[in-house]
Amino acid sequence: MAQPYSARSRAIEPFHVMALLARANQLQADGHDVIHLEIGEPDFTTAAPIVAAGQAALAAGHTRYTAARGLPALREAIAGFYQQRYRLSIDPQRILITPGGSGALLLAASLLVDPGKHWLLADPGYPCNRHFLRLVEGAAQLVPVGPEQRYQLTPQTVAEYWNADSVGALLASPANPTGTLLSAAELAALSQALKARGGHMVVDEIYHGLTYGVDASSVLEVDNDAFVLNSFSKYFGMTGWRLGWLVAPEAAVADLEKLAQNLYISAPSMAQHAALACFEPESMAIFEERRAAFSERRDFLLPALRELGFGIAVEPEGAFYLYADVSAFGGDAYAFCQHFLETEHVAFTPGLDFGRYKASHHVRFAYTQSLPRLEEAVARIARGLKSWQPHAV
């Protein structure tokens, strides 16, 4: 009889929303008009200048491995982006190009977390973060946070939850699923709290650029020793190209490069060549137009859901999500999501995917559909609330 699969594979939980997505796709295949508000992927396709650059790269034969740290020209372009957007002088040697933001997280976790050690993570938070820690035989110390902390770690929660096995904290600004930001002052205070305990600071800045009414501060403005995860997926709209980056302290680069060589050899070469076009003025203008569209969507959906009775205590300043309390309607959030999918064909995500703290009372809406589709979704949700029974399955 074959041995059972690894304990780590059994410990990593599936996305609960994937079952809902599969059902949504089935309903769609059966001819129903499903409005997808469940997946964190922009509805915009990759901008035309980037597609053209990718096609040119393929035509020119840029299909071979690159250096493990990535194309020098792309690392230099990213460094230029930090100079332009944040007024930061980042040595391109500190930047590693990775297969998506996930590749950056894998490198950081592999470098910083020994078996049995853990990072502090906000609960609710992006589920893959804790699963990557389990993959490297570490763990996530989930810290319950609510609207009173704006769903973010604070120096006080660091002090309360830090223990002998803690080696750092993973923060997200803007955060998924809540869309909240950490200011420069808050980042500085958290940096001080972690350094006082000998801990590493890792910050997910994947949704930078997608902020509304305020610019996000990079942790590198206040802590040059922090590790920064970023991606070309969200603001730059390159989800399927699987490209991200990691900014690391200079002393860590050699070990990170060694890990990259062994874990994935290099990020996709054609995607790297295509990404060079992201920083051209024509592309940046497209990204800013899309940011304005997301802002318009948020400004419609937020008050519309509140008017229907959804509890959204903190106004999100970034990303493209609304994390809503459904306690006022009674019942379980997963059954609530099932109800609206089956009766009104509107798909959104149960809080169970984002942690444990009050997860059964929350859902996440992704405003990654056009404004007319969001208007239709709100109308359907209003209708579906009339037929919702708290104990429905």
Contacts of 76 (CB under 8 A, 6+ apart): 92
Kindly state whether residue 253 falls inside one of the protein's structural domains: yes
Reference 242, options 272, 279, 287, 210; nearest CA is 272
Distance CA 55, CA 123 (A): 41
Q: Coil, helix or strand for 280?
A: coil
Q: Show the domain range for 247.
A: 64-280
My answer on whether 308 and 363 are in the same domain is yes
**131 and 156 fall within a common domain:** yes
Q: Rounded to an integer, what is the distance from CA 349 to the centroid of its chain?
A: 14
Do 199 and 290 belong together in one domain?
Answer: no
Predicted confidence at residue 20, as pLDDT, reads 86
The alpha carbon of residue 235 and the mean position of all alpha carbons in its chain are separated, in whole angstroms, by 11
User: Is there a contact between 205 and 216 (Cβ–Cβ < 8 Å)?
Assistant: yes
Q: Are residues 157 and 179 in the same domain?
A: yes
pLDDT of amino acid 14:
81
Asked whether residue 164 falls in the same domain as residue 303, the answer is no
Q: Same domain, yes or no, for 158 and 264?
A: yes
Q: What is the pLDDT of residues 2-59, one digit of tens each?
A: 778 999 988 888 878 888 889 999 999 999 999 999 988 889 999 999 999 999 999 9
Share of the chain above pLDDT 90, in %: 92
At 392 the pLDDT is 44
Give SS3 for 245: strand
pLDDT at 261: 97
- Do residue 96 and residue 225 come from a single domain? yes
Task: Evaluate whether residue 392 is within a structural domain.
Answer: no
pLDDT at 1: 64
Q: Is 367 exposed, middle or buried (0-12, 13-18, 19+ CB in 10 A)?
A: buried
CATH number at residue 290: 3.90.1150.10
* Amino acid letter, 325: D
Which amino acid is it at 369? Q
Output the pTM of the full model: 0.95
Question: Same domain for 275 and 330?
Answer: no
The pLDDT of residue 18 is 81
Question: In this structure, are 76 and 17 located in the same domain?
Answer: no
d(CA 28, CA 17) in angstroms, rounded, equals: 16
Average pLDDT over residues 366-385: 97
| Residue at 2 is within a domain | no
Type and span of the H or E element at 258:
helix 253-263
pLDDT tens track for 357-370: 999 999 999 999 99
Give CA–CA dist 227/186, Å, rounded.
16
Q: Which of 254, 280, 306 is the last residue of a domain?
A: 280
Q: Which of 280, 297, 315 is the last residue of a domain?
A: 280
Given a contact cutoff of 8 angstroms between Cβ atoms, the answer to whether 20 and 341 are in contact is: yes
Contact between 346 and 365 under an 8 Å Cβ cutoff? The reply is: no
Per-residue pLDDT at 393: 40
- 134 and 266 both lie in a single domain: yes
Kindly state whether residue 393 falls inside one of the protein's structural domains. no
Residues 168 and 118 in one domain: yes
Separation of alpha carbons 377 and 135, rounded Å: 38
Question: Nearest-5° angle of CA 214, CA 220, CA 223?
Answer: 120
Note whether residue 146 is domain-resident.
yes
Residue 367 phi, psi dihedral angles, 5° rounding: -90, 65
Higher pLDDT: 106 or 42? It is: 106
**Tally of domains within the chain:** 2
Tokens (6 digits) for 103:
């590749």
Residue 375 located in a structural domain: yes
Write down which residue in 226, 247, 280 finishes a domain. Answer: 280
Which pLDDT does position 215 carry in this prediction?
93
What gap in Å lies between CA 81 and CA 207, rounded to an integer? 15
Count CB-CB contacts under 10 A for residue 235. 22
**Residue-wise pLDDT tens digits, 68-84:** 999 999 999 999 999 99
218: amino acid identity, one letter: S
| Pair 26, 68 in one domain | no
User: The domain spanning residue 242 has which CATH number?
Assistant: 3.40.640.10
CA distances from 255 to 112, 244, 251 (A): 11, 18, 8
Whole-number mean pLDDT of the chain?
95
CA distances from 270 to 64, 79, 97, 99, 104 (A): 9, 20, 13, 12, 18
Q: Name residue, tokens 């990072």.
A: 119
The answer to whether position 23 is within a domain reads yes
Q: Is residue 106 part of a domain?
A: yes
